[in-house]
Homo-oligomer: A and B are copies of this chain.
Amino acid sequence: MGSFPVETFQPLDPDVFVKESQAVVDFIANYYRDIERYPVRSQVEPGYLSKRVPDQAPIFPQPVHTILDDIRDDIFPGLTHWQSPNFYAYFQANASTAGFLGEMLCSGLNIVGFNWIASPVATELESIVMDWMGKMLKLPSSFLFSGGQGGGGVLHGSTCEAVVCTLAAARDSALSKIGSDGITKLVVYASDQTHSTVQKASKLVGIPPSNFRAIPTSAASDYALTPDSVRSSMEADIAKGLVPLYLCATIGTTAIGAVDPLLDLGKVANEYGVWFHIDAAYAGSSGICPEFRHYFDGVELADSFSLNPHKWFLTNMDCCCLWVKSPSSLVDSLCSNPEYLRNKASDAKMVVDYKDWQIALSRRFRAMKLWVVIRRYGMANLMEHIRSDVAMAKHFERLVAMDRRFEVVVPRKFALVCFRLKPRFQGDDASKLNRRLLEAVNSSGQAFMTRAVVAGMFVLRFAIGATLTEMRHVEATWKLIQAKADGLLLNGSSDKSFFL
């Protein structure tokens, strides 16, 4: 056979793996220790990085410490620090030690569990952990594998993927009845508060953009979708010869945390035979606490339900739970059976092959991460995590209410407070003032909030939930907001530092 040159490049040598991994672990731990030093929202100008890094890949290897030095010097200035305790923007993306451990295990084992045989435990642990989650949320047994009614759950990377897959399933089920030409007749319903992902997904699966209905909401219903408005929208479409396909309701809308009335909407959806999806991306995690569970009433009428543990459940990016009552409709729409993946267990239909429940073939071992998070913290701590954030939000809400220059714009339900500086005179819509206040806070680097527009009103969003946020951060940020408001209200027009 002859001898073969010894391989000198060993990119998975265990000793090197340990040494270099420890350096990175220490680096990240120091990042968490120092995180309050960095401006929360990056203050760089577009294009800053190309001036700092080479425009070509290196030919020769570079040591880890050089790479880490460059991350500190060149990458950190361009980071918006989502793990900062003073990050109140968008919705938080919870990192945690257990989530990180789970990601390490997922990445270290680095398996690709597209079907059962490709790593049986990836499928089986996912099914088990989805049932755990479902039970924690008191989902009806029709959504659980253990319910024995054909339902079950799957982990996706994002809500958009969950919506795309359920929309495709609903679409193909409808087209099997009305023929493939009917795709231009299908209509998708949501509210003007529903996440933009539903509109995007609807277009993505080939439904004409003109067939997406963003039904208006108003303060009268706390910006929730009303069953009557859905019903009349569907009736109008049917009268035009269109076919209602899919209704998305939300527990905790993105802009202001509104909750749609699931029970009443579910009845309308069931009556018209449309697929009923519930998006609880942000607020869904609260369902493990009994005091929030009432928002989920009516979930039993849904065809599918999704939430993102990567937001408020201490699970590092990315992780989206999707439960469906009829996974076979997903499989009918999404399955592929190329020869090179065939195997006895799949051919005999003895197993779940998650590739047929999602967009891609390849899939990471995300169940490991969620399983480690749940076990390492236990339901008691996870409930405490939700409750402490809500308690801080309640406190912040009280602080806002105590300052008569400000108002809380919509009732807080979870840990998102929407507020603004009140109009100062007749006809003032206060938008300009609040834009300035937002930019004054964000450009200070001391905190980062984002915005919403509700019924024409420019609103500041204060989303509490970053893992490191404590009461002292919330209180200090409120003082910062007050101080910036003082500056604006005293000599607003001379402040040139803002951008609108």
Task: Report which of B59, B77, B104 forms a contact with A378, defined as CB distance below 8 A.
Answer: B59
The answer, yes or no, to whether A468 is at the interface (CB within 8 Å) is yes
**A203 pairs with B57, CB closer than 8 A:** no
| A292 CB, min distance to chain B CBs, angstroms | 17
CB distance from A201 to the nearest CB of B (A): 8
**Residues of B close to A104: CB separation below 8 A:** 21, 24-25, 28, 100, 103-104, 107
| Cβ-based interface call for A117 (8 A) | yes
Chain B residues with Cβ below 8 Å from A20 are 97-98, 101
Q: Does A142 contact B (CB under 8 A)?
A: no
A333 sits at the interface (CB 8 A): yes
B9 near A32 with CB under 8 A, answer: no
Pick out which of these stretches binds chain B: A232-240, A267-275, A360-368: A360-368
Contact of A128 among B55, B93, B131, B161 (CB under 8 A): B55
Q: Is A181 an interface residue (CB 8 A)?
A: yes
The residue in chain B whose Cβ has the minimal distance to the Cβ of A75 is B121
Chain B residue at minimal CB-CB distance from A108: B28
Contact of A29 among B14, B197, B362, B461 (CB under 8 A): B14
Which of A204-212, A218-226, A296-304 forms part of the interface with chain B? A204-212
- Determine whether A374 belongs to the interface, using a CB cutoff of 8 Å to chain B: yes
Q: When the two chains form their complex, are residues B17 and A379 in contact, meaning their CB atoms are under 8 A apart? A: no
B24, A101: Cβ atoms under 8 Å? yes
Q: Does A149 contact B (CB under 8 A)?
A: no
Contact with B along A341-381 (1 / 0, CB 8 A): 11011000011000000011110100010001011111111
A475 within 8 A of B: yes
Q: How far is the CA of A340 from the CA of B197 in the complex (A)?
A: 13
Interface residues of A in 295-345 (CB under 8 A from B): 308, 310, 314, 316-318, 333-334, 336-342, 344-345
Task: Classify chain A's interface size.
Answer: 35 or more
Distance to closest chain B CB from A215 (angstroms): 16
Q: Which of A13-35 contact B (CB under 8 A)?
A: 13-18, 20-22, 24-33
A21-61 contacts to B (CB < 8 Å) = 21-22, 24-33, 41-42, 44, 46-50, 53, 55-61
Residues of B within 8 A of A377 (CB): 9, 11, 61
> Do the beta carbons of B109 and A83 come within 8 Å of each other?
yes
A66 to chain B, nearest CB (A): 8
Assess whether A9 is in contact with B385, with CB atoms less than 8 Å apart.
Answer: yes
Inter-subunit contact A340/B90 (CB<8 Å): yes
Q: How far is the CA of A53 from the CA of B132 in the complex (A)?
A: 11
With beta carbons under 8 angstroms apart, the residue of B7, B46, B94 that contacts A120 is: B46
